[in-house]
Amino acid sequence: MTIYGNWSAYDELSDGVPLTEELAMRQLREVVRLKSLGVRFDAYLMDAFWFDPDGGYRTWRKPNWPDGPQGWLDVCAEHGLIPGLWFTANTLCHINPAQAWKDSVDANNWGMCCFQGGFLADYVDVLGFWYGQGIRIFKLDFADFTAAPPGLKAELPVEEIRARNQEAFREALLGFRLTHPDARFLGFNGFESVEYMDRTDRPLECVIDLRWLEVFDSIYSGDPRPADVPCVPFWRSVDIYGDHTTRVLEHSGVPTGRIDNCGFMAGPTGTCCWRGKAMWKGMFLLTLARGGILNVLYGDMSQFDEADAIWMAKAQALFEGKPQSVGFGGVPGSGEAYGWALGEDLCAVVNPQPTPSDIDLVERPWRILFTDSGFVPALSEGSIELGPYQMAILGIDGPSFGVQQDCVSQVRKRAYCLVVDRSPAKMTVDFAPGDLRIVVRQRDADGRLVRTFSGSKSAASAISIQAWQVDVEIPVVRHDDKVVWSGMSWAIADLIASGEDPVRIFVEAHDPLVAKLEVEIWSADAQSA
């Protein structure tokens, strides 16, 4: 199943673009257009903020939806699209408690108890109400199973509250599914047992109670964001994030077919860092290569023209009917080369490293079906050498998908590495002129990577990178010059300096949590190294 999700066509959290009926219907028309050109879309998911905050999830927000959802539902039915809705699980995210929920609310007016009070029974009634209106996909988000009214919080340990909330919620959904067998449930934030989405540098560990697979058709692996792996271009780090969190869930025992990797998010809003459609082809192929039976494609579909649609449909056909994927190679978030195998005749490979890297393959007569521009991969039957930050799709047969021109893999030589361990975290180094790249990672006193949240400012504001030659400042090009809602732990800047005078490079981290800087200088000119 391929679901269109309209989040990132609008964004009311990290941006100010509201969900309106006009926007939702415009995207519906675009989905219908792409569908007519061969792109597979089975469903349309209406994401957050469709609801009236005082309506207990039973009424739609006015004036954005003056006549409610019927027009949207009718057009979905006309074009064979299954409608879906977003709900919180048991929290009050931009919604006020309905009367039936009030005796379940915790002291901070955020979460609701699932085993005491009227919340859960009314919640199940809400799901049934929308099922009766034709909704078949239910996206459940922002669970908080530590929630309980103040009296219970005083009586019971938090672990018992968590266990009883989870059991009650799970049993309620299982009961609902018995009487509504064609309902589909998507599990999002809050169902993990270990927080793993904020950092990608941790060792693999089990992060979810597999009993949730009895309830949910898919478990999501995190909204797209940069990994803790510095990359040029920036968007490859976002690809690596999706690969890493999918690998974490696979390691935890979730079949990759049941993982919603949420890897495709293209749009004009803050939630996807105003990505637009940059490097969208690699993003699309990696979303498919992670092997989910259920894939959600988010964003503004008006960006994609007829040629794009034909390419998308061809890519979907390549992966249609393939076995669920199996991860191989290294751990993506550790910057180790890795891949996804879908049976014996199709795989995706990625090199997250700043140098060329070999990836071992099962010996087959492989062909390169798609790759990034720049470095030319060296392919044999048993391995492939990829360039820096490069990805490729390999098959035994199948059509060519061309070369991704807006992602260029270029080889540089590391010329200098310095770890600064002092506070404040700043350094100055002199270096030979040339075509240089400065890569910075920031850590706390215990050596853990630090993500700095810059709010509405560019991530580049968190780490200063400046350069002078004699007394003249040299312009630097920042690859991390993005407003990133999730924070960033790294920075990359390029500069070009000619002549013979040394270049003085100054780096400073402004986050008070940063105690150590790792600074590397890479040169495009081997002589400078």
Read off the pLDDT of residues 238-292 as tens digits, 9 standing for 90 and up: 999 999 999 999 999 999 999 999 999 999 999 999 999 999 999 999 999 999 8
Fold of the 2-323 domain: TIM Barrel (3.20.20)
Q: Read off the amino acid at residue 360.
A: D
Judged by DSSP in three states, 447 sits in: coil
Predicted pLDDT of residue 419: 84
Provide the 10 A C-beta neighbour count for residue 91: 18
Residue range(s) of every CATH 2.60.120 domain in the chain: 413-528
CA-nearest of 389, 409, 392 to 401 is 392
Residue range(s) of every CATH 2.60.40.1180 domain in the chain: 328-409
d(CA 390, CA 235): 11
d(CA 219, CA 198): 17
d(CA 20, CA 384): 48
Interval 370-394: pLDDT, tens: 999 999 999 988 999 999 999 999 9
* CATH of span 413-528: 2.60.120
Strands 259-260 and 264-266: unpaired
Largest CA distance in the chain: 77
Predicted pLDDT of residue 528: 38
Predicted pLDDT of residue 529: 35
Below-70 pLDDT ranges, the chain: 526-529
- Is 293 in contact with 324 (CB distance < 8 Å)? yes
Which H or E element spans position 28? helix 21-36
Residue range(s) of every CATH 3.20.20.70 domain in the chain: 2-323
DSSP secondary structure letter of residue 502: P
* CATH of span 328-409: 2.60.40.1180
